[in-house]
Homo-oligomer: A and B are copies of this chain.
Amino acid sequence: MPGQRGQRWHDRRTSIVDAAARLFAERGYHATGTAELCEAVGLGKGSLYYYVESKENLLYLIHDRVMSQVLELATRISEMDEPAGERLRQLGREQIAVIAAYPDHVWVFLHEHRALTGERARRFTASRRQYERRIEKILTDGVRSGEFAIADIRIAALAWLGMHNYTYLWYQPSEALTVERLAAEYYALFTDGIRAPGARPPAGRPGQGRPAPR
């Protein structure tokens, strides 16, 4: 969203944010000095801060570069006029695609977000919560429409997030495992579970949750 600064300023800032994400992911936020940042982007300290304001703001911008996309996608998809299952399927695919496209940014914002303070920390937490609410909306819509049976929407949303976000630790897109295939597998797991059709839970065990689907 270019404001008074103009498109060129914003493009330059984005390339600085991406270079910083790479550096922070490699060396850690605290361990990366301003001198290294300046060298990586080919700017002096004054010019660097003209674009990014401060090192902490740079960390916030790395987070925002991913989160703003993810949140926009989630908002659009969660409000689509489609069955909840279809919306959940699409959101899963987009979520994995973003994680695969921005491995450094995701690494940095999952690992270093505690370095944010004050207003930036507040905005970080708020955008995360907003994202969770989009997932919760899809799940709630699905329960209302009779597509889903969910004992606890919040826990289910966090389980879904865990399953998808955790891919940042191991997943690299390949022909053998494309974003589409991984997302389809996760969708099938999350929607239908692993219980074989017709199999029943072991008799007499407590805490099994809902009865097996008939």
Which of B162, B195, B208 interacts with A162 by CB under 8 Å?
A: B162
CB-CB < 8 A to A142: which residues of B?
194
Total copies of the chain: 2
The answer to whether A196 touches B158, judged by C-beta atoms less than 8 angstroms apart, is no
1/0 per residue, CB under 8 A from B, across A153-164: the answer is: 001101101111
CB-CB < 8 A to A29: which residues of B?
28
Tell which of A2-10, A58-66, A197-205 binds the partner.
A197-205
List the 7 closest pairs (A to B, CB-CB), nearest first: A188-B209, A162-B166, A193-B193, A184-B207, A149-B196, A197-B213, A30-B31
Give A contacts to B, CB under 8 Å. Answer: 27-31, 82-83, 85-86, 89, 110-111, 139, 142-143, 146-152, 155-156, 158-159, 161-167, 169-170, 177, 180, 182-199, 201-202, 205, 207-214
